[in-house]
Chains A and B, each alone.
Chain A
Amino acid sequence: MPDLVLKGKAIKLGDHVSTDDIIPGRFAHLRSNLPELAKHVLEDAAPEFASKVKALSVAGGGKAILVAGRNLGLGSSREHAPMVIKMSGVDAILAKSAARIFFRNAINQGMPVLLCDTDKIGDGDELEINVIDGKIANLTSGITLSCGKMPPIMSAILKEGGLIPYIQKHKDFKPQKHY
């Protein structure tokens, strides 16, 4: 189950970070070896990213929150992109906007994604996030941000930890009125 209320530090990325940036196609031969694939997360686009996430966990500094700009995850349908972000130690993703397949894939992997004005968040800011309420408190700046709500079916999938655990439990898509 993902933590739906969590506290952590922002690691910032820019606009239009594509799935080719997150996990380049030249590593496609490693896609059936996820631990090996994950070593290459954002290798060309943000070479310091993996060590920043790792430093947080080593220092006991709490959760790592990836904070991106516009159109995060544009490009390919490869679900390996949110998977390697998760495997690198990230616990939640915030972005100004996200490409639709990436957004859906991240939720299907049990990775919370909230859309908000990430210009109000600086690298290293301390954040407290309530995923279901769509509220983000920036403890560093004192600013509170609100996010649009995701469709109920997505929050139901997220609460179960992703689409596969959701389907294992329910065996089918539950009609929306059940939420």
Chain B
Amino acid sequence: MGKTLAEKILSLKSHGDAKAGDVVIAGVDLAFVQDTTGPLTIRQFKESGFEALAKPQQAVVFLDHAAPSPAQQLSNDHILLRRFAEETDCHIYDVGEGICHQLVAENFANPGDIIVGADSHTVTAGALGAFATGMGSSDIAVALALGKTWFRVPESFLIELNGAFPRGVYAKDLVLYLIGQIGADGANYRALEFRGEALARMTMSQRLTIANMAVEAGAKVGLFPADKITRDFLREHGRGDKYRPLSPDASANYEQVIPVNLSQLEPMLSLPHAVDNVRPVAQVKGVKIQQAFIGTCTNGRLEDIAVAGEILKGKKRHPGTRLLIAPASRQVLIQAMEKDYIQSLIEAGAIILPPGCAACLGLHQGVLGDGEVCLSTANRNFKGRMGNPEAMIYLASPATAAASVMKGEITDPREFV
């Protein structure tokens, strides 16, 4: 029997023959924390009696969730994290550099790597063919100290992607559609593995959006093969030498095969308060919104800001709405400025937030009021997610967000692209 991508990577890294259902101990190529999970990780690391990191150059502290900090307690957590990075000689990306998952993609993730992060959206790096998964603080403390962790080798679902996105339909619409099909727990403990002729036209930015949301179907990892697009992305980011082709064996065993014809998709939305509460935008349009939020590890990249910038160029946000834009990294912000997307967005009435998680998790920079509706390009719309359990969050693509903020209500972006 051939191997899935998950089995291949875990076999390689555990120096054995890993099959779905096995438990393996494997070396990790990158372990990281962010500022809301890192302080606990540090306390557990010290409580365990550890002093040094197994691989300081393969460990990173990111300050992105409260960036810049809105509260003294979080500022003090930042001090603790900066001190830890200095003591252990690991990498640190301070406030304003960007979101951990975007920075991992830009600077660290390579095909065949094992990446563990104290953040559930660590799965994002699966776009580059890395076995990347989120864990809690205890697990990351031990992974930092020992340079390894244990994994149960997941069963895989094969997502077979064919066709091309119609006008106004994007990677976000595909992944929302998929989560609606699979359900929020339908892929619990599984790997989602993507394959099919559509991948040849699917940019790294789109792959990152899709892999990012694998966890919203319960999956442990969302894995793309490593191909020419992966190679080009690595070259652009100075890591061409890290490229290696990676694909599953033809005779690999999948628990389920889910075919999707991209050509038949339409703009999709997640309705409050569950990510798998998915419907076509066409069925929901007309719902009034007070805030649109374009950013996050799901949709804060240059391609996303470009779509919004082009739709809103020469236009205005609807009176009574707020438009928040948070680029996923400093590099994204610089590129978006060079291309004048930021100029167009500011002229359309946008507020540009610093690179980071911004309004996504309800800490700062766009907390919603009672009864308010936000159309967000993030990955979660749980009750209370954006800081107020009395608010409503709809999830959609940057195009849908841009079209909707222009009309002040949920709008099908195909009217404007």
Which residues does A use to contact B, with CB under 8 Å?
A: 16, 18, 20-21, 24-26, 28-33, 44-45, 70-71, 74-80, 97, 99-101, 104-105, 108-109, 151-153, 162-164, 167-168, 172-173, 175-176
Contact = CB atoms under 8 A, between A and B. Distances in A.
B382 interface: yes
A25 B189 contact: no
B48 A100 contact: no
Contacts of B49: 168
Contacts of B66: 28-29
A152 B21 CA distance: 12
A101 B220 CA distance: 9
A14 B114 CA distance: 35
Contacts of B117: 77
A31 B40 contact: yes
Interface stretch (B141-149, B302-310, B331-339): B141-149
Interface in B141-160: 141-142, 145-146, 148-150, 152
Interface in B167-225: 184-185, 188-189, 218, 220
B380 A104 contact: no
The size class of the interface chain B forms with chain A is 35 or more
B118 A77 contact: yes
Contacts of B44: 164
Given A75-B120, A75-B380, A167-B48, 11 more contacts: A26-B384, A26-B388, A29-B70, A33-B73, A74-B218, A78-B37, A108-B138, A151-B152, A162-B138, A163-B142, A164-B138
B363 interface: yes
B139 interface: yes
A77 B136 contact: yes
Contacts of B139: 104-105, 108, 163
B36 to A, nearest CB: 5
B344 interface: no
A176 B150 CA distance: 11
Contacts of A109: 138
A71 B40 contact: no
Contacts of B218: 71, 74, 99-100
A78 B136 contact: yes
Contact of A20 (B135, B152, B380): B380
A153 B150 contact: yes
B361 interface: yes
B134 interface: yes
Nearest to B190: A100
Contacts of A24: 362, 384, 387, 389
B385 interface: yes
A25 B146 contact: no
Contacts of A77: 37, 117-120, 122, 134-136
B382 A75 contact: yes
A101 B136 contact: yes
A138 B36 CA distance: 39
Contacts of A26: 362-363, 367, 384, 387-388
A99 B25 contact: no
A29 B74 contact: yes
Contacts of B76: 32
10 contacts: A26-B387, A28-B65, A31-B39, A71-B218, A78-B36, A78-B37, A79-B40, A104-B139, A105-B136, A167-B142
A163 B71 contact: no
Nearest to B69: A29
Given A28-B74, A45-B383, A76-B120, A173 B150 contact: yes
A127 to B, nearest CB: 24
B176 to A, nearest CB: 16
B359 to A, nearest CB: 11
A71 B185 contact: yes
Interface in B271-298: 274
Contacts of A162: 138
A75 B384 CA distance: 13
Contacts of B189: 100
A77 B215 CA distance: 11
B86 interface: no
Interface string B78-90: 0010000000000
Contacts of A163: 138-139, 142
A108 B136 contact: yes
A48 B189 CA distance: 31
Contact of B36 (A31, A100, A104, A173): A31
B155 to A, nearest CB: 12
Contacts of A108: 136, 138-139
